[in-house]
Amino acid sequence: MGAIARSPFAHRLTGASQTPQNENVVIRDLSTLPRIGFKGNGTTNWLSSKVSAVPAAPNKAITLSDGTLIARLGKEEYLVLPGRDAVGSVCSELEASWNADDASGERRIGYPLPRADSHSWLYLEGSSIAQMMAKICSVDLRGDRFLQSEVAQTIVARISAVLIREITDGSYGLHMLTDFASADYLWDVLQDASAEFGGGFAGNGRI
Amino acid sequence: MKLMTCPLNGPRNITEFQCHGEVHRQPEPSGASDHEWAEYVWMSNNTAGVVREWWCHTPTNFWFLAERNTVTDEILATFPVPADGPLGEAS
């Protein structure tokens, strides 16, 4: 799935963005990176034949050797996020692969779910992320309760969200994918919630 | 906040869920009389007591079954849809 041309946060990132004052809460906009999902009967078998591993249970994520993050959202539903330093595009490769298999008449391989234009994608990093999220989300996201590779599909600030704890040796990191069309609202919420910790938006892209 | 335990996602605020009414067994569409079909589509038992209901966890769109006491609003059990066999019905 190709990346979108413009982030839904783009118009808020220019000019008077709230920049982080410290390392407590740093929010990055990854919305312009590609992402794709697959769902439906047979998806687990199909995806397992295309990548080296898939998570063993729903609401778990794994990172492949090239940095690709695969989150299992249900028995037969997956979300694929490209890695930090991805050279190729795992998303477009998987989509092309699915199209080829579908065209060759394979059945029970699920179906692709375009995610680039349905979900915005933020990466939240820092020592106070769990504290900040406690203000807008009811799931306990503290570091010792919401472990690396865990996934929570829940409500954040009254909109549905997929939260994935990053698998890293570094500080606490959280991927947050929410409704694309609610991005403007979410920006205001996060600006308000992060201000207490001196946090803010550090532009787009990864470190 | 009232909590409900989703079979897929674990305990969550009740605001993450929607109730979709009591479980009915669908009569065979081709063989059912108009009366039976109308009964299935339009009527509910509205039981005062323990009923089996359809619920949906809206962030994941995960549908499951729950047993709830409609008098006390106590949720007694939640479980995924059985892979086969009957869903069970409110009496």
What architecture is the A10-33+117-204 domain classified under in CATH?
A: 2-Layer Sandwich (3.30)
- Rounded mean pLDDT of A136-142? 95
Picking from A206, A180, A2, the residue whose alpha carbon sits closest to that of residue A91 is: A2
- Boundaries of CATH 3.30.70 in chain A? 36-114
What architecture is the A36-114 domain classified under in CATH?
A: 2-Layer Sandwich (3.30)
Chain B contacts of A119, Cβ < 8 Å? none
**What is the overall mean pLDDT for chain A?**
91
The answer to the question of residue B63 being in a domain is: yes
The answer to the question of residue B9 being in a domain is: yes
Residues in CB range of A91: below 8 A, 6 or more apart: A1, A34, A35, A36, A80, A82
Contact (CB<8Å) B8/A154:
no
Of chain A residues 109-138, which have a CB less than 8 A from chain B?
Answer: 138
Q: Is the pLDDT of residue B85 over 90?
A: no
- Boundaries of CATH 3.30.1360.120 in chain A? 10-33+117-204
Q: Is the pLDDT of residue B66 over 50?
A: yes
Cα(A155)–Cα(B18) distance, rounded to whole angstroms? 13
**3-state secondary structure string across A118-180:** CEEEEEEECCCHHHHHCCCECCCCCCCCCCCCEEEEEEECCEEEEEEECCCCCCCEEEEEEEH
- Rounded mean pLDDT of A33-59? 96
The interface predicted TM-score of the complex, written ipTM, equals 0.85
Chain A contacts of B13, Cβ < 8 Å? 138, 155
- Rounded mean pLDDT of A156-169? 93
Tens of pLDDT, residue by residue over A62-113, are 999 989 999 999 999 999 999 867 767 899 999 999 999 999 999 899 999 9
End-to-end CA distance of chain B: 30
Tally of residues, chain A: 207
Q: Are strands A26-29 and A200-204 parallel, antiparallel or unpaired?
A: parallel
Cα(A44)–Cα(A56) distance, rounded to whole angstroms? 10
Number of domains making up chain B: 1
Percent of chain A with pLDDT over 70: 94
Contact (Cβ atoms closer than 8 angstroms) between residue B25 and residue B37: no
CATH number at residue B31: 3.30.2270.10
The answer to the question of residue B86 being in a domain is: no
Cα(A104)–Cα(A136) distance, rounded to whole angstroms? 47
Q: Is the pLDDT of residue B71 over 50?
A: yes
The SS3 assignment for A14 reads coil
In A171-182, which positions are buried (b, 16+ CB within 10 angstroms) versus exposed (e)? ebbbbbbbebeb
| pLDDT for the residue B91 | 36
**Which of A138, A146, A150, A163 to mutate: most B Cβ within 10 Å?**
A138
